Amino acid sequence: MWNRLPVWQVLLWWHHLFLLWSTIDGQTRYTISEELKQGSVVGNLAKDLVLGLSEIYRRKLRITSEAGKQYFSVDLGKGELVVCERIDREELCGQRVPCILPLEIVIENPLQLHRVDIEIQDINDNSPSFLTKEKVLKIAESINPGARFPLESALDPDVAANTIRSYSINKNDNFKLNVKNHKDGSKTPELVLERSLDREKQPVHKLILTAVDGGDPVRSGTSEISIMVLDINDNAPQFERQLYEANVNENAAPGTQILRVKATDPDEGLNGKIEYAFGEQTPDSVTALFDIDSSTGVIVIKRQLNYEQTSLYKFDIVAKDKGNPDMDGHCDVEFKMIDVNDNIPEIIVTSLTTPVPEDSPIGTVIALIGAKDSDSGDNGKVRLSVSPKSPFKLNPSVSKHYTLVTNAPLNRERYSQYSIEISASDSGKPPLSSKKTIIVDVLDVNDNPPLFSQPSYTVYVKENYAPGKLLCSVSATDSDLGDNAKTSYSILESKVQDVSVSSYVYINSDNGSIYSMHSFDYEKLKVFQILVQAMDHGSPSLSSNATVHVFILDQNDNAPAVIYPSAALGSLSHQKMPRSAKAGYLVTKVTAVDADSGHNAWISYKLVEATDTSLFSVNLYTGEVRTKRAVSEQDDSSQRLLIDIQDDGVPVQSATVTLAILVEDGLHEPILDLRQKTPEPSKKSGRITLYLIISLASVSVLSLVTFVILAVKCVRNSRSSGSCCMRRDDLDGYKNPNRNLQIQLNTDGPIKYVEVLGEDMLSQSQSFRSYLSPMSEFSDFTFVKPSSTTDFKEMINVLDASLPDSAWTFESQQVRSDV
């Protein structure tokens, strides 16, 4: 069966069964024949590149070709490289052997480049042909045998074995054919005169020149040669050389002389006068670029040359005399172009990945960049570079390609976009260069937590504050973008008096506004902390915390409560006193307490009604009921007193107590006046005094040690966090014109600064200076100067009942004047 088919069809059939491929230095090569049908399989690209079929689609495999036309495509279902366009080797490569069609296979995620070379093999699909189908030669009959006459060479676009193999002419009596073989493998037929011509016998000779190629099957072409026998002018011009060669710079200016051809003719007169011209087969591309002086034979450049278009020019020159008939001679001319560095390097971005995540590791491939220079040799060698200050660098890849990779960490918050300038420079002299800018956007990654405007917040809230009202607002900013910068606020779980803090307050997750869930009672809760968290919406999310210190401000919402005398049976309290009572006799003591604090808890007593106002008085601060004079026989035995008890808040809260005092005869005084009698100290009382002195000394030492420890702790705390100050005259609701009390609190609650003043007794006041906190130089603590020792004790009792014990921590006290 194979003998019945032409050889080229057998080869084409075998191509579909077997394709030669090889991988050399990371490059894959396939060999195919030209003129394959569309859909013909070139090779299994997935298998040769070690790729799974799913990877081809997922990694976006694509093909780029320098040919400008896409001749191949990839069958994504099978991973095969197939022909999608007609391939004409002669159109692609001309006479160049081998004919290589380079392909670049680009695969992303990660970015890879594979080079695939497709070698296009020639098939004998072109027959030899002559430009001139009929050629006329004029030969003088006097020409001696052995004369040679160049004939037109046939053209065959095929190469190698498929190009022209031989020439032949039909059998005749006068001529034979000689074929000249050139160094480049080309052949030129020559007609050789074997026997002298006789115009009288045969004025015209008809010959058929046949050109045969070496393909299988053989193809051929013919040209008809008509030989006209001329009379006399028996010397043809002869060139000094059969081949003229010259090297020409491609940048030679038009008008430049290249060389001069010279022929001689021994004839005389017109028969020996020579004119030069291009041969009949000279291509138009040669006559467009070169010109020859018909009289001198000087060849000059007519237009600008280009090495990249053609590096070698071959043509023939004819020297013709003016005899009748005219005779001519022929010579060959070869011009080799010398490349000059006249092409600027071209930067080609094959693939670019943008945007790039800012957390991309060093070495991440950003782009695949190629370099192209049409010059040859060193003029075509291109180097790519990038600015060393850029966080990117270029790594050489395959086939004049570079990969652009990260060379340093990226930070979108500093630079959200990079303009990368790529420079290309060739190795010519002088070198030529070009630049190309690549824009790479940086994709935000959640690498910045939200930051609060301040690490801690201080809020003052009045007790009985209406539920649902705004306490304060916290804010945090995030330098990231989008969801990575979108912030939500929440309250971290903690306990306040064994109750979840979320029972007291809630926060708007969008804007950070904190609202109260219910009103606060200062008497139950004075200060608490809220730990607020700001969290972004990135993945993974980032967060930061801030502390909100909430101080509850006391309001005068509690009236004084009488604890003695007891009024459980009603508002009337019954007391007894002897009629023998002297002036200053202590009848009873009214004691009341107020659940409020500060001024709101300062209590004063006032006698508002009495049966006999001249008999009794009530101490303003202690509530002691004493006789103003001695009881007489005329005084009623039943006395009724109405005492009003008020606090110092705004508005004032008050309570009353009614005392029914029964004056009885013969009733002994139950209370001794210690001021009038001073009994002799016994051994037992002396021992008690010693114990008291030891106890007081121990307490003093312990207090001093405690203060030193607290002072050191305050110094450390002051360095890490500020303190909040609260002065009664600065807080809303605490505007007291008497300015009786000033308090400065630390953020954790204890009193740092206390000042007590009395407007009505300011002129008689004395100052106590004490260092209550290392944060301030000193603090003034002022007591009202009493008129007597008894009143001084009373004032101390009042102050002691009004302020918590934790407020009275002193390092030293100094009385500036005697009390």
More confident residue, 778 or 402: 402
**Mean pLDDT rounded to a whole number for the chain:** 80
DSSP annotation of 145: T
Q: Is the pLDDT of residue 11 over 60?
A: no
Q: How far apart are CA 619 and CA 625, in angstroms?
A: 7
Strands (E), 214-279: 220-230, 238-239, 243-249, 257-260, 263-264, 274-278
Residue 204: what residue type? V
> Any idea which of 525-539, 698-712, 793-807 has the lowest mean pLDDT?
793-807
Closest CA to 536 of 513, 515, 509: 509
Residue 80 dihedral angles phi and psi, to the nearest 5°: -100, 145
More confident residue, 392 or 2: 392
High-pLDDT (> 90) share of the chain, %: 37
Closest CA to 804 of 438, 523, 518, 538: 523
> Any idea which of 377-381, 528-532, 566-570 has the lowest mean pLDDT?
566-570
Q: Is the pLDDT of residue 353 over 90?
A: no
Closest CA to 114 of 390, 368, 335: 368
Q: Is the pLDDT of residue 21 over 80?
A: no
> Any idea which of 248-257, 568-577, 759-768 has the lowest mean pLDDT?
759-768
pLDDT in the model for residue 751: 42
pLDDT in the model for residue 57: 83
Largest CA distance in the chain: 199
Query: What strand order describes the sheet that includes 312-321?
Result: 243-249, 328-338, 312-321, 274-278
More confident residue, 95 or 383: 383
Concatenated DSSP letters of 317-383: EEEEE--SS--EEEEEEEEEEEP-S-S--EEEEEEE--SEETTPPTT-EEEEEEEE-SS-GGGG-EE
500-517 mean pLDDT:
92
pLDDT in the model for residue 669: 53
Q: Are 122 and 98 in contact (CB under 8 A)?
A: no
Closest CA to 708 of 806, 577, 602, 812: 812
pLDDT in the model for residue 568: 52
Residue 513 burial (10 A CB sphere; 0-12, 13-18, 19+): middle
What is the torsional sign of CA 103, 107, 113, 116?
negative
Q: Which residues, in sequence order, are CB contacts of 660 under 8 Å at separation 6+?
A: 572, 573, 574, 575, 638, 639, 640
At residue 387 the predicted structure's pLDDT band, cuts being 50, 70 and 90, is confident
Q: How far apart are CA 477 and CA 406, in angstroms?
A: 29
Q: Are 399 and 26 in contact (CB under 8 A)?
A: no
Tokens of 370: 């190629």
Q: Is the pLDDT of residue 321 over 80?
A: yes
780-784 mean pLDDT:
37
Q: Are 290 and 300 in contact (CB under 8 A)?
A: yes
> Tell me: the pLDDT tens digits for 36-93?
999 999 999 888 888 888 888 888 888 888 767 888 999 888 889 999 999 888 888 8
Q: How far apart are CA 367 and CA 445, in angstroms?
A: 21
Tokens of 304: 């600008």
- DSSP SS3 for 4: helix
pLDDT in the model for residue 635: 87
pLDDT in the model for residue 30: 92
pLDDT in the model for residue 685: 52
> Any idea which of 92-101, 145-154, 502-511 has the lowest mean pLDDT?
92-101
pLDDT in the model for residue 231: 65
At residue 798 the predicted structure's pLDDT band, cuts being 50, 70 and 90, is very low
Q: How far apart are CA 589 and CA 760, in angstroms?
A: 25
Q: Is the pLDDT of residue 807 over 50?
A: no
Q: Is the pLDDT of residue 578 over 60?
A: yes
Residue 411 dihedral angles phi and psi, to the nearest 5°: -140, 105
Q: Is the pLDDT of residue 515 over 60?
A: yes
Q: How far apart are CA 511 and CA 523, in angstroms?
A: 32
Tokens of 677: 């009698």
Residue 47 burial (10 A CB sphere; 0-12, 13-18, 19+): middle
Concatenated DSSP letters of 685-754: HHHHHHHHHHHHHHHHHHHHHHHHHHHHHHHHHHHHS------TTTSTT---TT--EEEEE-TTS-EEEE
Residue 611's Cβ-side half-sphere holds a number of Cα atoms within 13 Å equal to 13
> Tell me: the pLDDT tens digits for 708-766?
888 887 777 655 544 333 333 333 333 333 334 444 444 344 443 344 444 333 333 33
Cα–Cα distances (Å) from 248 to 184, 273, 301, in that order, read 19, 30, 10
Residue with tokens 């969801």: 483
DSSP annotation of 155: B
pLDDT in the model for residue 717: 64
325-331 mean pLDDT:
88
* Strand-pair category, 365-372 with 401-406: antiparallel
Q: How far apart are CA 83 and CA 105, in angstroms?
A: 15
At residue 275 the predicted structure's pLDDT band, cuts being 50, 70 and 90, is very high
524-549 mean pLDDT:
93
Q: Is the pLDDT of residue 206 over 90?
A: yes
Q: Is the pLDDT of residue 194 over 80?
A: yes
More confident residue, 11 or 337: 337
Tokens of 760: 């009505």
pLDDT in the model for residue 268: 79
Helix (H) or strand (E) holding 599: none
pLDDT in the model for residue 158: 86
At residue 779 the predicted structure's pLDDT band, cuts being 50, 70 and 90, is very low
At residue 9 the predicted structure's pLDDT band, cuts being 50, 70 and 90, is very low
Residue 773 burial (10 A CB sphere; 0-12, 13-18, 19+): buried
Residue with tokens 């059969």: 242
pLDDT in the model for residue 760: 38
408-420 mean pLDDT:
89
Q: Is the pLDDT of residue 266 over 50?
A: yes
Q: Is the pLDDT of residue 12 over 60?
A: no
Concatenated DSSP letters of 414-450: T-SEEEEEEEEEESSSS--EEEEEEEEEEEP-S----
Other C-beta atoms lying within 10 Å of the C-beta of residue 564: 13
At residue 455 the predicted structure's pLDDT band, cuts being 50, 70 and 90, is very high
Measure the CA angle with vertex 229, ends 226 and 233; round to 5°. 130
> Tell me: the pLDDT tens digits for 292-306?
999 999 999 999 998
Closest CA to 183 of 330, 314, 317: 314
Q: Is the pLDDT of residue 349 over 50?
A: yes
pTM over 0.85? The answer is no
Q: How far apart are CA 769 and CA 773, in angstroms?
A: 12
Residue 99 dihedral angles phi and psi, to the nearest 5°: -100, 105
Q: How far apart are CA 2 and CA 9, in angstroms?
A: 10
